Amino acid sequence: MAGLRILSVNAHPHDFTHYAGTLGIHVADGDTATVVSMTGGASTHNLKLAEEMAKPQENRDQKLIDQINKEYTNQKADELRSACNIFGITDVRILPYADKLFTLEKNPGAVDALRDIILDVRPHIMITQSPYLTGRKGHKLGARDDHSETGFASIEARMLAGIARYEDSRPTHKIPATFFPGVYFEHDEWDFVVDITDFFDKRVQAEATYISQGHTPEWSRKRMEVTLGNAGWYSGTQYAEGFVQEKPFRMPKIILPDSVLSEAGETEAVRHTRMVGS
């Protein structure tokens, strides 16, 4: 299907990078992507803030704390927009909620804010943080945090967007498919992977954009080689991003991707080139 609209909902400005290559592929194919960060990430990886907050309360400089938060939040917003721009994504929205800990109890307006975005964008696909806390797919962190709370908010907002409100003149919208980034799951829980080998350099570039988190070009390349390379090696390519579907699709029949058919008949030399490059 051409012209897909994809909504990416994340807890922090950096989180969308876990599947930025996939979004880049879709944008390059003519689809559109909207990236939402529920928080500005002011407290996430903020070393200056952590240093000041480690002091006894009577020794803290509140003006300095406020300045650190403002400057860091602005920097993270600039980094997110710059990283999105690398993949041709221009619709970037940062919601004004505090991180560490973002919860729906503390931010009751968050669900309605997301509902408004869903009704505006009217996406065919939503990719959001994993909402699972228990069971085999339970969150790796083992507890509620900004990421799982963002997952809860996304699922609730999706449901409410499909329900008519008397006072709302906008038509309702139901999102056909929801996916979760594979980084929150074990490899054998993934439903599919996207080969992002051709977008690897852009993934490195995007990772290096987050100078606020101490990312250098060298560190970013190494991290991408390890993480995307691990996903790629698992799935039979150089670099990949994994995904988990919220629920199975109803299919008209069994459909095999061209990659599955071609790989079945390839020689060992071709397989080697595909997995490690020429």
- pLDDT level of residue 67 (50, 70, 90 thresholds): low
Report the DSSP pairing between strands 240-245 and 192-195. antiparallel
Quick one: pLDDT at residue 75? 87
Quick one: pLDDT at residue 132? 87
The pTM score is 0.89
Task: Please write the tens of the pLDDT for every residue from 82-101.
Answer: 999 999 999 999 998 887 77
Domains and CATH numbers, the chain: 5-250 (3.40.50.10320)
Task: Please write the tens of the pLDDT for every residue from 197-237.
Answer: 999 999 999 999 998 888 899 999 999 999 999 999 999 99
d(CA 154, CA 38): 10
d(CA 144, CA 141): 8
| Structure-model confidence comparison of residues 99 and 241, the more confident one | 241
Structure tokens at 36: 């939402």
Quick one: pLDDT at residue 91? 98
Quick one: pLDDT at residue 57? 73
Cβ neighbours for 228, distance < 8 A, ≥ 6 positions apart: 21, 196, 200, 203, 239, 240, 241
Quick one: pLDDT at residue 108? 83
Q: Of the ranges 33-42, 123-132, 146-155, 269-278, which one carries the lowest mean pLDDT score?
A: 269-278
Residue 166 has pLDDT above 90, yes or no: no
Quick one: pLDDT at residue 1? 67
For the chain, give the percent of residues with pLDDT over 90.
62
Structure tokens at 64: 């300095």
- pLDDT level of residue 104 (50, 70, 90 thresholds): confident
Task: Please write the tens of the pLDDT for every residue from 7-59.
Answer: 999 999 999 999 999 999 999 999 999 999 999 876 666 566 566 567 677 76
What value, to the nearest 5°, has the Cα angle with vertex 180 and ends 165 and 168? 10
Quick one: pLDDT at residue 36? 98
Q: E strands within 224-270? A: 240-245
Q: Of the ranges 109-113, 132-136, 225-229, which one carries the lowest mean pLDDT score?
A: 132-136
d(CA 14, CA 79): 8
Task: Provide the 8-state DSSP code for 278.
Answer: -
